Amino acid sequence: MSLETAVERRSLPLEYPFGIARGTTTETEIVLVRIRADDGTTGVGAAAPSEHYGETAATVAAVLPDLCAIVEDVGDPHHLERIERRMRETVRGNPAARTAVSIALHDLVAKRFDVPLYRYWGLDPTETLETSYTIGLDDLETMREKATTAVDRGYGTLKVKLGTDRDLEIVRTIRSVAPDARLFVDANEAWTPHEALAKIDRLAEFDLAFVEQPVPAEDPEGLQFVYERSALPIAADESCVTLADIPQVADRCDIANLKLMKCGGLREARRMISAARAHGLEVMCGCMTESNASIAAACHLAPLLDYADLDGSLLLADDPADGVPMPDGRIDLAGLERPGTGAVLESS
């Protein structure tokens, strides 16, 4: 068997400006990867790099030729372990770039078996979840309007970005227009430990599911301090990047939040889920602002999760890829009628 690879950068505008404690963006840049077998079957993946983790579309594009050369040299997409090992040996870090290749390979392999990825993994599509829909930081009226629109579109779980001097007012406003929604909040490392506890005590009255990353990842003792005293469950995101972080956060949070773009691929994501379970943690899979070219793959992890935060493609003004159906935010794996991850590019 022989494999051919192709790489393409694209800039995608967001439906609304997307604000978190570290800043606001209006577009996201992705790097698409296609891997074509000699029978014509093509796997699709994408990188959605984050500067917070040291990657940009430019760095991804720079290392992908080396990663694609490994794929072409191995020549068999079923050798997932060998390709993954060689990618790790070839580039240090670069998780989003490696993830793009991982997704494309898994898509290709499942297509060659003519089954959806969840079936290739032996997972039950009925054991799935609904994704949260993120309300980014903005002025109060705009956040109210975004939340109202999300509820009107049928989303029953909202994630609210915090990290300001008006956090309590933000949550009160969102809860007023989404009284029945499941809410959780994400401070993106913006609080000090004592500030986090004070805010969490006040926020608890709004019936929140949990608080995500209240303090900086560089302060593990602070995270433990908050976790041991918090009135709400704590999720670790920036503190939980790769498999090696799971034991480190096991006594500092209730929920491990993994992301494909942080950890380096689907095989690593599944290892992280297993490790988190072994340490008694609940598991969430999150995302960046991404296309369905990568979100679709993450959706197939849903039967293994407690929470899904896979709205990255829902935040785009226009997505070049179709993916797993998400009626009202529910990840409908059973409704997927295509093999592989389900991602289909508009030019395919």
pLDDT of residue 346: 84
pLDDT of residue 347: 63
Give the model confidence (pLDDT) of 208-234 as tens digits.
999 999 999 999 999 999 999 999 999
The residues spanned by each domain of the chain are 3-116, 120-345
Q: Which residues contact 177 (CB under 8 A, 6 or more apart)?
A: 144, 147, 148, 151
Give the model confidence (pLDDT) of 159-206 as tens digits.
999 999 999 999 999 999 999 999 999 999 999 999 999 999 999 999
N- to C-terminal Cα separation, the chain: 22
Nearest CA to 100 among 129, 143, 133, 70?
70
pLDDT of residue 21: 85
Instruction: Flag whether pLDDT at 9 surpasses 70.
Output: yes
Reported as a pLDDT band with limits 50, 70 and 90, residue 243 is very high
Instruction: Tell me which DSSP letter residue 154 carries.
Output: T
**Cα dihedral 327, 159, 116, 44 in deg (nearest 10):** 110
Q: What sign for the dihedral angle of Cα 154, 159, 161, 166?
A: positive
Count H helices and E strands in the chain, helices first: 12, 13
Where are the strands (E) in 82-187, listed by range? 133-135, 157-161, 182-186
Q: Which residues contact 124 (CB under 8 A, 6 or more apart)?
A: 118, 303
d(CA 246, CA 53): 17
Q: For residue 174, give the H/E element and its range.
A: helix 167-177
Identical topology for domains 3-116 and 120-345:
no
Which CATH number, 3.40.50.150, 3.20.20.120, 3.40.50.10800, 3.40.50.300, labels domain 120-345? 3.20.20.120
DSSP string, 183-243: EEEE-TT-S-HHHHHHHHHHHGGG-EEEEE--S-TT-HHHHHHHHHH-SS-EEESTT--ST
- Residue located via tokens 């990618």: 87
d(CA 33, CA 262): 17
Are 183 and 175 contacting, i.e. CB atoms less than 8 angstroms apart? yes
- The chain-wide mean pLDDT, for the chain, equals 96
State the CB neighbour count (10 A cutoff) for residue 5.
19
Please give the share of the chain, as a percent, with pLDDT higher than 70: 99
Mean pLDDT of 76-99: 96
DSSP string, 246-287: HHHHTTT-SEEEEEHHHHTSHHHHHHHHHHHHHTT-EEEEE-
**pTM for this prediction:** 0.96
State the CB neighbour count (10 A cutoff) for residue 313.
27
**Span 3-116: which CATH code?**
3.30.390.10
Give the model confidence (pLDDT) of 245-295 as tens digits.
999 999 999 999 999 999 999 999 999 999 999 999 999 999 999 999 999
Reported as a pLDDT band with limits 50, 70 and 90, residue 141 is very high
Give the model confidence (pLDDT) of 144-157 as tens digits.
999 999 999 999 99
Mean pLDDT of 98-120: 98
Token pair of 89 as six digits: 């040996």
d(CA 65, CA 246): 31
DSSP string, 24-70: EEEEEEEEEEEEEETTS-EEEEEE---GGGT--HHHHHHHHHHHHHH
d(CA 242, CA 272): 7
Reported as a pLDDT band with limits 50, 70 and 90, residue 138 is very high
